[in-house]
């Protein structure tokens, strides 16, 4: 019955679409464009984009949807017959799932010479690191100064009674930074230590919200929302953003990062298996690693370039902390346990 329905549908599709077929595709001629499939937060400056288009002679088309997790799920649905040529935005949290799904073709960009080995997560070069942006606890400097309370310096500090009821985090089941922070605690305390840690956080009145938007814009006291929680899970690049987008621009960042809590987030790109324009795809990966694009990254996507030759904008030089050795977990370990950890976290913290 289901098969019959499908056949009927396919016949209907065929019949209905033949009518518009003439207008479609260009067939096997060499493609004049290259399609970048990416997440919702991807941005690049206009002039950087047109520079790529001019130097490559290709039109750059961008397809966006959801966050890193959704991006990978959709790419898995279309593995081998992808929606575009390059995928950018898979991170270390979902990397193993993407590699197991055989999404990518290997490509070793010559520009990898200027990238630290620690960012190269796949030795077969099926994916290429493009940026890193650590997820860290941020705190409201004025809140702690006014009350003469010592701000947190480490993950351990959060279980201290003096910081009771001050922390807001995102739900790891629905939020990327929320997941990264859960992984940070697993990396720090191991199993089953992280579970006890979260039990203590719960006793200390940790507030869990659905996403970063509510946590940072509403609950956090250090940003525009003026909430009542002075500690929040956000990014290492949030303090410079507070300066750049402050009205009026403050002289000093109103927030600071707890370096000890930072979890490594690396975003990678890869040439999609079955890409229509494979040459263009490689060219695009090279471009994403070039200093031109890399220097555009901080102020457009608020993460850090991996190319060590790329210069940081002054606000990042002054107000951003690049953690020396952020917490990390091997992608395979994340893939093997992520869903279980989130489930256990839910029963410890929410039920």
> What residues from 54 to 113 belong to the interface with another protein (CB under 8 A)?
61-66, 69-70, 72-74, 76-78, 81, 83-84, 97
The footprint of another protein on residues 33-52 (CB under 8 A) is 35, 37, 40-46
Q: Does residue number 17 form part of the binding site for another protein (CB under 8 A)?
A: yes
In the complex, what is the shortest distance from the CB of residue 351 to another protein, in angstroms, rounded to a whole number?
Answer: 8
Q: Give yes or no for a cis peptide into 248 (omega within 30° of 0).
A: yes
Residue 159 contacts another protein per CB under 8 A: no
- Of 24, 110, 161, 190, the residue at the interface with another protein (CB under 8 A) is 24
CA distance 235 to 248: 22
Interface with another protein in residues 297-326 (CB under 8 A): 299-300, 302
| Among the listed residues 56, 114, 159, 174, the single contact to another protein using CB under 8 A | 174
Radius of gyration of the chain (CA): 22
Stretch that binds another protein, among 13-21, 118-126, 191-199, 325-333 (CB under 8 A): 13-21
Toward another protein, which CB reaches closer, 6 or 318?
Answer: 6
Residue placing its CB nearer to another protein in the complex, 147 or 249: 249
Helix, coil or strand: residue 343: helix
- Of 228-247, binders to another protein (CB under 8 A) are 234-235, 237-238, 241-242, 244-247
Q: Are 204 and 169 in contact (CB under 8 A)?
A: no
- What is the DSSP annotation of 77-123? HTTTS-SSSEEEEEETTTHHHHHHTT-EE----GGGGGB-GGG---T
Smallest gap from Cβ 194 to another protein, in A, equals: 18
Task: Kindly give the interhelix angle for 176-189 and 193-203, rounded to the nearest 10 degrees.
Answer: 120
For another protein, which is the closer residue by CB, 112 or 209? Answer: 209
C-alpha angle 27-32-37 in degrees, rounded to nearest 5? 95
Q: For residues 17 and 149, which CB has a smaller minimum distance to another protein in the complex?
A: 17
Which residues are registered as beta bridge partners of 268? 90, 129
Site for another protein in 326-345 (CB under 8 A): 339, 342
For another protein, which is the closer residue by CB, 244 or 329?
A: 244
CB-nearer residue toward another protein: 94 or 107: 94
As a whole number of angstroms, the distance between CA 339 and CA 344 comes to 9
Looking at the Cβ atoms of 115 and 243, the one nearer to another protein is 243
Nearer to another protein, 74 or 118 (CB): 74
The site for another protein, by CB under 8 A, has a size of 75
Distances (CA, A) of 171 to 87, 203, 208, 243, 282: 26, 17, 6, 27, 36
Span interacting with another protein, options 8-16, 129-137, 140-148, 324-332, rule CB under 8 A: 8-16
Judge whether 65 and 41 are in contact, CB under 8 Å.
no
Determine if 145 is a binding residue for another protein (CB under 8 A): no
Extract the runs of DSSP E, i.e. beta strands, from the chain: 33-38, 59-64, 86-91, 104-105, 128-132, 135-140, 167-170, 207-209, 231-235, 255-263, 266-272, 304-305
The only residue of 53, 156, 214, 279 in contact with another protein, by rule CB under 8 A: 214
Among 10, 153, 199, 202, binds another protein (CB under 8 A): 10
């Amino acid at each position: 019955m289901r098969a019959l329905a499908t056949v009927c549908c396919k016949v209907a599709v065929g019949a209905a679409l033949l009518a518009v077929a003439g207008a479609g595709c260009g067939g096997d001629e060499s493609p004049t464009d290259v399609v970048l499939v990416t997440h919702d937060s991807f941005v690049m400056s206009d002039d950087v984009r047109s520079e790529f288009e001019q130097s490559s002679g290709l039109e750059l088309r961008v397809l966006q949807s959801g966050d890193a997790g959704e991006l990978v799920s959709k790419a898995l649905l279309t593995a081998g017959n992808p929606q575009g040529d390059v995928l950018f935005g898979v991170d270390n949290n979902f990397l193993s799932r993407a590699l197991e799904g055989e999404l990518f073709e290997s490509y070793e960009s010559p520009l990898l010479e200027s990238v630290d080995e620690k960012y190269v997560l796949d030795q077969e070069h099926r994916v290429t690191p493009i940026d890193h942006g650590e997820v860290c606890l941020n705190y409201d400097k004025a809140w702690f100064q006014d009350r003469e309370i010592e701000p947190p310096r480490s993950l351990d500090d959060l279980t201290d009674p003096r910081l009771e009821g001050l922390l807001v985090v995102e739900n790891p089941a629905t939020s990327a930074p929320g997941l990264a922070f859960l992984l940070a605690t697993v990396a720090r305390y191991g199993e089953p230590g992280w579970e006890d840690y979260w039990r203590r956080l719960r006793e200390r009145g940790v507030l869990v919200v659905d996403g970063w938007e509510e946590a940072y814009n509403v609950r956090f006291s250090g940003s525009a929302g003026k909430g009542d929680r002075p500690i929040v899970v956000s990014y290492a690049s949030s303090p410079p953003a507070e300066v750049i987008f402050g009205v009026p621009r403050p002289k000093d960042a109103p927030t600071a990062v707890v370096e000890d809590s930072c979890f490594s987030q690396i975003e990678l790109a890869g040439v999609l298996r079955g890409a229509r324009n494979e040459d263009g795809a490689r060219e695009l990966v090279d471009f994403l690693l070039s200093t031109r694009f890399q220097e555009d990254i901080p102020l457009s996507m608020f993460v850090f370039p991996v190319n060590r030759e790329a210069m940081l904008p002054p606000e990042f030089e002054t107000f951003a902390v690049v953690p020396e050795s952020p917490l990390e977990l091997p992608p395979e370990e994340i893939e093997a346990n992520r869903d279980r950890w989130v489930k256990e976290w839910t029963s410890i913290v929410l039920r």
